[in-house]
Amino acid sequence: MGKGGGKTIGRFRVTDDVLGTGSYGEVRRGADTQTGESVAVKIIKKELLTKNQRSAQQLFREIAIMKSLNHPNIVNLFDTLQTGNNIYMVMELVPGGELFERIVEQRRFEEDKGRRYFQDLMLGVRYVHLQGVAHRDLKPENILISDDGLKIADFGLSNIQLSTSSGAVPDAMQLQTVCGTPNYVAPEVLSKAGYNGFMADIWSCGVILYVMLAGYLPFRDPQIPNLLQKILKGSYEMCPNFSDPVKSIVEKLLKRDPADRITVDGILDDKWFNEGFDEDRLKLGTFKPISTEPGSPCHAASPKHGGGA
């Protein structure tokens, strides 16, 4: 349980052990008092949300989306509660830390290890996209490592990506908000002309694969304007250490034009990707409808456990 202390919110004990901090609160270690299972509790201060209506809408959308997801390669949201001062998101505790930290420690992964992690990533992305959701901020800092592999986290910038029955995303259904992390964002997102959130995620996956196997970013520059111009032009150098099959899939992932970029189905058919891949994993995960009803997606904690941290 870490440092101890803390308080009980609903059936969860929240300790003073801080796992991370963000713009609207922090993440603390906790435990389910009924099962003893360790959890991570994201605490969001209501007073900060009341000052920014857009952030409040974004949080409620994140909660609604996470509640609909259930897959081994996605961080699970167990419960959401609220007190007078805070909103609590009780999530799966993933003990292995961020993929980013592991890359920094090891500099780069051997090809087989990078492939296994990329398979996990694509299974999670495929599932999310089948649910009609674009993540929009895929990067190693938002991917956690568990004993079973990778888990996608932080759906704070995610959104519903509408598409036709055939899966096409016509102009009227494209997303408009420019968001994400500069080094990982797709060129069409920067162009401000609307974009298919699914294909933007595929670009980000390409950057992640490159980083895992090379140990450095394909698009990098100390000056942000120069960095964005390189991304808009799709200008990067292939890592000379990559094998030919890796070079081939990276080129397909980092196509500047999303219409030419490889799709999830194309990745699943790729020979390099398929080495050692268990197709039965494609059947994992369940689907639940995403509620779009107005109102808070949180329920109140028991009054005797109320109060804010």
> Is residue 7 within 8 Å of residue 307, measured between CB atoms?
yes
- Nearest-CA neighbor of 74 among 128, 119, 115, 113? 128
- List where CATH 3.30.200.20 sits in the chain: 7-93
- List where CATH 1.10.510.10 sits in the chain: 99-286
Residue 190: CB atoms within 10 A of its CB come to 16
More confident of the two residues 206 and 306: 206
3-class secondary-structure state, position 13: strand
Rounded Cα distance, 159 and 74, in Å: 16
Q: What is the pLDDT of residues 263-272, one digit of tens each?
A: 999 999 999 9
Token code pair at residue 271: 């020979």
- Class of 99-286 per CATH? mainly alpha
CATH architecture for segment(s) 7-93: 2-Layer Sandwich (3.30)
Statement: residue 303 has pLDDT above 60: no
Rounded Cα distance, 12 and 48, in Å: 23
Q: For the chain, what is the mean pLDDT?
A: 91
> At 229, phi and psi to the nearest 5?
-65, -40
Complete DSSP assignment for 34-71: TT--EEEEEEEEHHHHHT-HHHHHHHHHHHHHHHHEE-
Determine which one of 137, 154, 221, 257 is catalytic.
137
pTM: 0.91
Task: State residue 38's pLDDT score.
Answer: 96
Task: State residue 54's pLDDT score.
Answer: 86
* Catalytic site includes residue 137: yes
